[in-house]
Amino acid sequence: MSEIIDCPSPNFDDRSLPVSILVLHYTGMQDAASAISWLINPTSKVSCHYVVAEDGQVLRLVEEEKRAWHAGRSKWRGITDVNSASIGIEIVNPGHEWGYRPFPEAQMTALTPLVAEIVRTFDIAPANVVGHSDVAPARKQDPGELFDWERLARLGLALPRPGRSLADPHWTDGGFLLALDRFGYDVADGPAAVRAFQRRWRPEAIDGVIDGQCRAILLSLLLDRERGHAR
Ligand SMILES: [Zn+2]
């Protein structure tokens, strides 16, 4: 891993849970400098553990043992204080508001070993390497549908998208949301939860409509977990 530059943020406090989740974000601001100055500004009340710039430079804002303020009001697999239970990485990208664009190779090359190191340090399950939109579906879209989850999955750092020849279980929409809740999503806002699921698992069609492919992917994810293929 290349050298990490310390850029301390005052926006943190103490954890009340052990680390079991890694949350990936995009910065969603016009450029890296404005994002970083916001994340270290005491009045913003937001921060993260690491920022990964588009050129691959990694900054450390909050020590891993501390609770950074990146997830906000969130929920994942029953945990509602996601900040206490997670490490947060902000990946520099203007985001949907300022011109969402692919994550450059240099950035992904820097991000991947950082994720690997964190996953190894805290023994984070691949199913708990998630996007901000997964833990706050009604509020967030980051890191978004252009993020290359498969690249992390190939290294065993995140769950892969289930393969072909999946059977549609023909759940009702209510049944799908129950299954989504079982997988870990907050389904209080059903359509938002469906869109978050699609953004992560079927990014080519984020329409909020539950179809056979969505049902089949979710069934496969749940079966893999029950069979012990995925944590
Ligand atoms: Zn975020």
Query: How many A from CA of 48 to the centre of ligand 1?
Result: 9
Looking only at Cα atoms, what is the longest distance across the chain? 51
Q: Which residues, in sequence order, are CB contacts of 88 under 8 Å at separation 6+? A: 22, 23, 25, 47, 48, 49, 50, 68, 70, 71
Q: How far apart are CA 151 and CA 95, in angstroms?
A: 20
Q: For residue 165, name the pLDDT band (cuts at 50, 70, 90).
A: low
Query: How many A from CA of 169 to the centre of ligand 1?
Result: 32
Catalytic positions, please? 90
Q: What does the pLDDT average to over 101-106?
A: 98
Residue ranges covered by each domain of the chain: 4-154, 173-226
Instruction: Give the whole-number percent of the chain exceeding pLDDT 70.
Output: 97
Neighbours of ion ligand 1 (CB under 5 A): 25, 132, 142
Query: How many A from CA of 224 to the centre of ligand 1?
Result: 28
Query: How many A from CA of 106 to the centre of ligand 1?
Result: 21
Q: For residue 33, name the pLDDT band (cuts at 50, 70, 90).
A: very high
Selected residue with higher pLDDT from 224 and 114: 114
- DSSP type of residue 33: H
Q: Exposed/middle/buried for 146, CB within 10 Å: 0-12, 13-18, 19+? A: middle
- Which CATH number is associated with domain 4-154? 3.40.80.10
Q: Return the pLDDT at 88.
A: 98
